[in-house]
């Protein structure tokens, strides 16, 4: 069974204080690992897709990395507008359920000015 665990559940940062969010996963052959941002009352918004170990992707203050067992979302010099819940999801090679994603519980990030 595919599993995704995110840590920490909540993270409070001061503006400018860099940190990392962790996503540990077990999957029967990784087809893709996805990072989403979710604001309160909104649907998840796509950030990155990573396909193989060693891959990295960047977008503004965010950088996602991938190993065979986990992914990290690094946040450099965060701003209050980066406050949101960050979701990690995996899709398995053996998954025939269309584009089924297995999600972690999310990390709620709060950045104080």
Separation in Å, CA 96 to CA 3, 53, 91, 93, 104: 17, 22, 10, 8, 20
Identity of the residue, 6 or 112, whose beta carbon is nearer to other proteins in the bound complex? 6
Stretch that binds other proteins, among 18-26, 60-68, 74-82, 102-110 (CB under 8 A): 102-110
Considering only residues 41 through 100, tell me which ones interact with other proteins, judged by CB under 8 A: 41-46, 49, 51, 87, 89, 91, 97-100
Question: Binding-site residue total for other proteins (CB under 8 A)?
Answer: 25
Q: How far is CA 56 from CA 93, 98, 105, in A?
A: 20, 25, 22
Return d(Cα 4, Cα 53) in angstroms, integer: 16
Residues that bind other proteins (CB under 8 A): 4, 31-32, 34, 36, 41-46, 49, 51, 87, 89, 91, 97-101, 103-106
């Amino acid at each position: 069974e595919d599993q995704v665990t995110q840590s920490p559940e909540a993270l409070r940062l001061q503006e400018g204080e860099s940190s990392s969010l962790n996503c540990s996963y077990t999957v029967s052959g990784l087809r893709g690992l996805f990072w989403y941002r979710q604001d309160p009352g909104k649907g998840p918004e796509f950030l990155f897709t990573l396909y193989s170990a060693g891959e990295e992707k960047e977008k503004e203050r965010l950088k996602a990395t991938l190993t065979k067992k986990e992914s990290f979302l690094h946040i450099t010099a965060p701003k209050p507008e980066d406050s949101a819940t960050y979701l990690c999801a995996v899709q398995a090679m053996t998954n025939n359920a269309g584009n089924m994603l297995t999600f972690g519980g999310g990390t709620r990030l709060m950045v104080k000015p």
